[in-house]
Amino acid sequence: MKIIGIVLAAGQGKRMKSKLYKVLHPVCGKPMVGHVVSTLEGLQTSRTVVVVGHGAEAVQAYLGERAEYALQEQQLGTGHAVLQAGPLVADEDALTLVVCGDTPLISEETLQGMIGLHQERGAAATILTAVVEQPKGYGRIIRDAQGFVTKIVEEKDCTDEERLVKEINTGTYCFDNRKLFAALAEVKNENSQNEYYITDVIGILNSQGERVDGYVLDDAAESIGVNDRLALSEAEQAMRVRINRKHMLGGVTIIDPASTYIEADVRIGADTVLHPGTVLRGSTVVGEDASIGPQADILDSKIGSGVAVKYSVLQDAVVGDGSSVGPFAYLRPGADLGQNVKIGDFVEIKNAKLGDDTKVSHLSYIGDAQIGRNVNFGCGAITVNYDGFNKQLTEVEDDAFVGSNVNLIAPVKIGKGAYVVAGSTITHNVESGDLAIARERQVNKSGYADKLRAKFAAKKAASKLKS
């Protein structure tokens, strides 16, 4: 049977006290609503409808064509929100999952389990529930002798016996789609808030003799709904534990999971080791047998197999197999390293492609450059790529040697196998096989250092006499 997903994402989220719309707050690098939609995509929903209200344009801009949208102009309760999706999906024969956009921890496995129970028991509705030690404030799940749900009782309406029940409603549901919208048409707003609640659908279905079931979460943390910054931090922590566990079970060694931060969309190959202080963000991909960290911060980068990165920052960079980066290197956007490249301490690479086996060992800057294979940059060598108006290209061909403290003033080209002598400032092309030297001839003045010291000492003495 087809599955329809309805994501409730219209609330303003005042308790977040933020200019950012609530469901767009990130958890492990991805907006909360993005986690929910990704989970539904994993279930291969035939349609996913996101009900938007406050911040509708921002949510649509983020999700794009991954979903359809229904607008809830006035926030009149959860039942009213689901009803806004009716014109799009009410007539379909399907199972409908109703999920809140601020519950990023709901997993694909949990929803699959709930759907399985729903179909096995022939239910019209199945409620995702959780058993918690402190149920205060939550709606209690009341079941009959067969285990079917007879009602959801809100805290304020509980009897003394019902208040002892520890099974709660999480706000996620599975419905027979047609029965859902038929029941929604009967929901009234005769309550203190004058709102239409989706929980009333449960009572309506029961009164019609339909079966309502409950699927109990294995991990109650999945039900966390984020309404403030405290809950956001709890969701972040729980998600981080889940992500780290997934990678470790997949063959990645994480030396200290508590100090390792991996965002949701990061991919890591087997036998890679992550050392303490590693932060992997965005769409970063790490190959097999790599060693990352300590203290590596990598964003939206592609790291090859057998790579070592430590005490370094990488953003929008590519690092080829067998290369090493750091310590204390900075690979900025456009850095593209071939295989077996060495980038050493206090080296910065920006918008530059470096060929295989090239070495930039220390204290250098390579920007806006095309560097060949087996090139050596000495300590302090730099490309001078900006003339105050435009960025210019430096080209260095295979097997060239660039000595220490060389300035390559772009645009300039160093030919294959050329040799640039240390301390040179190069403003013209160097042909293949040539040696370039561009510095003043050294002059030694005999005894002049002693004369300077005497002159300075005399000035200092005279100054003291005046004072």
Annotated binding-site residue? 432: no
Annotated binding-site residue? 376: yes
The closest of 46, 37, 86, 39 to 66, measured between CA atoms, is 37
Annotated binding-site residue? 391: no
Q: Which residue has the tokens 């100054």?
A: 463
Pairing verdict, β 26-27 and 30-31: antiparallel
User: Bridge-partner residues for 8, per DSSP?
Assistant: 51, 100
Annotated binding-site residue? 267: no
Annotated binding-site residue? 422: yes
Beta carbons within 8 Å of 19's beta carbon, 6+ residues apart? none
Annotated binding-site residue? 284: no
Annotated binding-site residue? 56: no
Is 428 among the residues known to form the active site?
no
Annotated binding-site residue? 77: yes
Taking residue 464's Cβ as centre, other Cβ atoms within 10 Å add up to 7
Pairing verdict, β 167-176 and 95-100: antiparallel
What residue type is 233 in one-letter code? S
For residue 237, give the H/E element and its range: helix 229-249
| 217 vs 127: CA distance, rounded Å | 10
Question: Which listed residue (80, 247, 362, 428) is catalytic?
Answer: 362
Annotated binding-site residue? 244: no
Annotated binding-site residue? 67: no
Annotated binding-site residue? 139: yes
113's tokens = 């389990």
Annotated binding-site residue? 191: no
Let me know: does 67 contact 49? Beta carbons within 8 Å.
Answer: yes
Annotated binding-site residue? 467: no
Taking residue 247's Cβ as centre, other Cβ atoms within 10 Å add up to 23
Question: Rounded to 5 degrees, what are φ and ψ at 214?
Answer: -135, 135
Binding region for Mg(2+): 102, 227
Annotated binding site for UDP-N-acetyl-alpha-D-glucosamine: 8-11, 22, 72, 77-78, 139, 154, 169, 227, 332, 350, 365, 376
Residues marked active site are found at 362
| Binding-site annotation, residues for acetyl-CoA | 385-386, 404, 422, 439
Residue ranges at the known binding site: 8-11, 22, 72, 77-78, 102, 139, 154, 169, 227, 332, 350, 365, 376, 385-386, 404, 422, 439
